[in-house]
Chains A and B, each alone.
Chain A
Amino acid sequence: MAEQKVAAYICQGCGLGDRLDTADLAKIAQKEGKVAFAKEHEFLCNADGVQLIKNDIAEGVTHVVIGACSRRAKTEAFSFPGVHVSRANLREGVIWVRPDSDEHRETTQEMAADYIRMSCAEAKRVNIPAGNPNHGGNKRILVVGGGMSGMTSALEASRAGYQVVLVEKSGELGGWANKLYKRIPFNEPFNGPQDTGVAEMAAAVQADGNITVYTNAVVSKTGGAPGRFAVEINHNGTPVAEEVGAIVQATGFTTYDTAKLPELGGGKSPNVVDQAGLEALMKAANGGAIKRPSDGGEVKNVVFVQCAGQRDDTGTHLPYCSGFCCATSVKQAMYFKDANPDVDTTVLYTDLRMPGNNEDFYRSAQNKGVTFSKGKVKSVEANGNQCKVAFHDLILNDENAAIADADLVVLATGQVPNAGTDIDAWTQAETESNNGQNAEAAQRAQELKVVSVLNLTYRQGPDVPQLKHGFADSHFICFPYETRRTGIYMAGPVRRPMDIAQATEDATGAAMKAIQAVENAAVGRAAHPRSGDLSFPSVRKEGCTQCKRCTVECPFGAIDEDEQRYPLFNEERCRRCGTCMGACPVRVISFENYSIDTVGSQIKSVDMPDEFDEKPRILILACENDAYPALDMAGMNRIEYNPFVRVVPVRCLGSVNLIFITDALNSGYDGVMLMGCKHGDDYQCHFVKGSEIANYRLSKVDDTLKSLNLETERVATYEVAITDIERVPKLINEYAAKIEEIGMNPFKGF
């Protein structure tokens, strides 16, 4: 690479010229920031200003410092490929959060000057990333599971021009849909059950030249990373090796076992079936009248019990709602009504959930005479060839309501995901087994491993991590289909409970994510959420102590261990959050443009007033995904905050190394505020576990502070959401008041 040449540009637009002494800022950039030259411009983001920078780049400038608006603004104007850009946030971060008056002019100018110093310091330590050179380039997509979701993913990927390998465990394609008589309507006028279309879809998959289908096959081993997954398929006992670029897992669900519901007659009578059982009866009847299973008698009265073994708050059964079963019961009641309107069909529900167009379907069922009664079912008892369904009628408030002569009872049980190994339980069992010394734990680990779907050779376990209730996903609202294993995407009921319509939509989304992953991997870039990021982590092996913290903490299982037990980075699996960099106690992990040095130098470049100036300095390490935009928006809303804070954006709070904090306190900062995302079950962290890990690490910072003889309040951690626009300035001001109360950092000036 050419020699590093840093230039600074100070904008005078948007009121910056009026509020700040830009000539002074330019001088600081040159003298303290040691840039090659600094220029002022009255309107830097206009064509003239941008051209000015472009001309300088043509003359050899490699690193640009822009003192203007936030890094989140004017990103298109200030985008110069192959050149590093550091943005000093003088607008949202300084003049918009400070009052425009003479008495505040000095502190405002100091704020701006520090941001210029920080940007110059950062720019000089940044190398321009060139992308991961050791990337794979395979763009084939493996789809695991040949049901409606899997087949849809395969077809969609094929239509987009990608080769697909489809692996199906059973002998034929179709999955659950094969077992259905009809499906819930999915197009106008949504008034009756529709054909599944599964046979046509399976035929389309078989006929597709882009799709290689393996039936009677399972994935026995998966290694590698996006763009270069090496997959071993056990096809009818014969091992087949395939190389793929990304994986869509559409392994679906199994039904909740009715034998676990004896109080609802599960397993007690052949006349009590689950919804899958009813589909089987209907398939056997093939459009004719369903006969009573116990004696082949006529069915005159059918009762549907909703939420059977679901939405259970006692901890015995499934705690969640599976979402599809209300509409399925409607569909199944219609099977009877369409064949013979004289059959009584009663749906006993506590809450009827009819999302989307299912509302029309529900209305159609009422019109056909399906009765819906709001009631909580207490018991189902077999009595000869009939069943007695006892329930609490919630509309008539009748505790002892009962349907005494049901010929058939259908239990609407939920979906249990086929997500493979619970890797958290597996990791625990593995740890407890202590290399086979504890036989019970070793046995448990083995049992957990046997059900694995992907059999990943990853250090962190053989399958993708599960989120809630055993479903595999990362975040079903913000990052659907994504998992904590880059390049592996979930589609359909393995991700959350759903019906066919939602599953096929899901499958399309997951296929698109897989394509995004292979395309980015093929050019050595990050897949998501930092899509297109060319930086990647590297480790300086000489300094590594093999402590394994990075390999354990990486939220994405990107780091394995090599034969000598050094961390082995799989860059394509990496999301570039920097959690490894934050974890490393010897600080040997870094990115070209984001390292201990780029952040540390910003912290240390701030001009530190001495103890008697009564100008404290508070460092804010803010997550760039949520907290930093919240601070920017506070600026846009002109909400003032304390002038003594200096904000350094970080990729994720997980990337905050404890050295940043000790460095800050040693160099005289009076307090450090850490702003990260919400963690826990309903987390908002873009890197899933980053903020959680950071919080865990920081929970131990108190000891460090005590050993330095400092007050524990000098480091404070906050959960900040992107919407906390008014809360963030308040937090800052409260914290500043507290620092004033406890006094200045005694390390100042040393």
Chain B
Amino acid sequence: MSEMKYHNNFLREVEERVEEGHMVKMCMQCGVCSGSCPFGPHWAHPPQELFMMIRAGKREEVLSSDSMWMCTSCYQCIVRCPRKLPITHIMHGLAYLAKREGKVPKGQPTAQFGQMFWDNLTKTGRVNELKLSLSLYFKDGFGQGIKNAMAMQSVGLGLMKAGRLNPLEILGGHSIKDKSGFQAMLKKAREIEDTRRKLA
């Protein structure tokens, strides 16, 4: 899709393909969201600006931005928005669209962790915390993984002593009863969502 500056093409795409995207046009540029965001100063484009960029048709810049990945879902912006925009949801929606369009900045940690979490969860229907932490430790290579693990050693031992971490989970771990049913359900849900949001 060619980029048309200050046309509504991208706004229309966002309305169609992003969760709660139809609310973007209601932003009145007051900036309360940007001012309320605890991570605001660290974003390249705070929400107010992202919304303006969407309206200005800056598709490439928005989707390849890492700003929406910075959202911690604290919901401060939603609470304060005078126009009642579900800003947090729109941020996640934008992030998802960026991922589906292959625009996520390389090595974006939130995106990486999200993928790990998803893979970990969908395999058995349960989150395997031991495997999740290990894959997180080792995501930047073996040496770094050992360092990370050593640094977190006492926490791990403490959790084990308290019975909150079972070392045997490393062998595969427990799962839900109907694993294939669960995966079929996820597949169907994705099909529906993709059709609705024209993501396929």
Contacts and interface: CB of A to CB of B under 8 A. Distances in A.
Contacts of B25: 366-367, 369, 371
Contacts of A373: 6, 52, 55-56
Contact of A366 (B6, B8, B28, B52): B28
Nearest to A406: B6
Contact of A344 (B8, B48, B53, B83): B8
A371 B55 contact: yes
A282 B188 CA distance: 50
Given A393-B56, A395-B52, A396-B52, A374 B7 contact: no
A404 B7 CA distance: 10
B193 interface: no
Interface in A393-409: 393, 395-396, 401-404
B5 interface: yes
B6 A346 contact: yes
B199 to A, nearest CB: 22
Contacts of A395: 29, 48-49, 52
Contacts of A363: 26, 83
B11 interface: yes
B29 A396 contact: no
Contacts of A366: 25-26, 28
Nearest to A365: B25
Given A366-B28, A396-B56, A371 B49 contact: no
Nearest to A345: B8
A402 B8 contact: no
A20 to B, nearest CB: 60
B114 to A, nearest CB: 28
B30 to A, nearest CB: 11
A279 to B, nearest CB: 24
Nearest to A371: B55
Contacts, number: 46
B26 A396 contact: no
B20 to A, nearest CB: 14
Interface string B50-68: 0011011000000000000
A667 interface: no
A401 B6 contact: yes
B86 to A, nearest CB: 16
A344 B7 contact: yes
Contacts of B26: 363, 366-367
A301 B55 CA distance: 14
A402 B52 contact: no
A403 B5 contact: yes
Interface in A378-429: 393, 395-396, 401-404
Contacts of B55: 371, 373
Contact of A301 (B7, B29, B49, B83): B7
A139 B26 CA distance: 53
Q: Range of interface residues on chain B?
A: 10 to 19
A718 interface: no
B56 A374 contact: no
A372 interface: yes
Contacts of A372: 28-29
Give chain A's interface secondary structure class: strand
B5 A374 contact: no
A268 to B, nearest CB: 21
Contact of A403 (B6, B28, B29, B83): B6
Interface string B4-30: 011110010000000000000110110
Contacts of B52: 373-374, 393, 395-396
A396 B56 CA distance: 9
Interface string A331-364: 0000000000000101000000000000000110
B12 to A, nearest CB: 9
A597 B75 CA distance: 76
A61 B83 CA distance: 70
A363 B28 CA distance: 9
Contacts of A346: 6
Interface string B24-42: 0110110000000000000
A361 to B, nearest CB: 13
A393 B61 CA distance: 16
Nearest to B6: A403
Nearest to B22: A367
B24 to A, nearest CB: 10
Contacts of B53: 396
Contact of B56 (A362, A369, A401, A404): A401
Contacts of B8: 344, 369, 371
Interface string B149-163: 000000000000000
Given A371-B11, A393-B56, A396-B56, A402 B5 contact: yes
Contacts of A362: 28
Contacts of B49: 395-396
Contacts of A402: 5-6
A516 B55 CA distance: 54
A506 to B, nearest CB: 29
A301 B6 CA distance: 10
A365 to B, nearest CB: 10
A198 B8 CA distance: 36
A371 B26 CA distance: 9
B29 A374 contact: yes
Contacts of A369: 8, 11, 25
Contacts of B83: 363
A369 B52 CA distance: 14
A366 B53 CA distance: 16
Contacts of B5: 401-404
A403 B7 CA distance: 8
Contacts of A367: 25-26
Question: Which has the most chain A C-beta neighbours within 10 Å: B6, B28, B56?
Answer: B6
A661 to B, nearest CB: 57
A373 B52 CA distance: 8
Contacts of B56: 373, 393, 396, 401
A403 B48 CA distance: 21
Interface in B44-101: 48-49, 52-53, 55-56, 83
A366 B15 CA distance: 13
A303 to B, nearest CB: 8
Interface string A711-746: 000000000000000000000000000000000000
Contacts of A396: 49, 52-53, 56
A346 B56 CA distance: 10
A366 B11 CA distance: 12
A393 B29 CA distance: 13
A366 B56 CA distance: 15
A369 B48 CA distance: 17
B176 to A, nearest CB: 44
Question: Which has the most chain B C-beta neighbours within 10 Å: A362, A372, A393, A395?
Answer: A395
B27 to A, nearest CB: 8
A34 B83 CA distance: 75
Given A344-B8, A372-B28, 11 more contacts: A344-B7, A363-B26, A367-B25, A369-B8, A371-B55, A373-B6, A393-B52, A393-B56, A395-B29, A395-B48, A395-B49
25 contacts: A301-B7, A344-B8, A346-B6, A363-B26, A363-B83, A366-B25, A366-B26, A367-B25, A367-B26, A369-B11, A371-B55, A372-B28, A372-B29, A373-B52, A373-B55, A373-B56, A374-B29, A393-B52, A393-B56, A395-B49, A396-B52, A396-B56, A401-B5, A401-B6, A404-B5
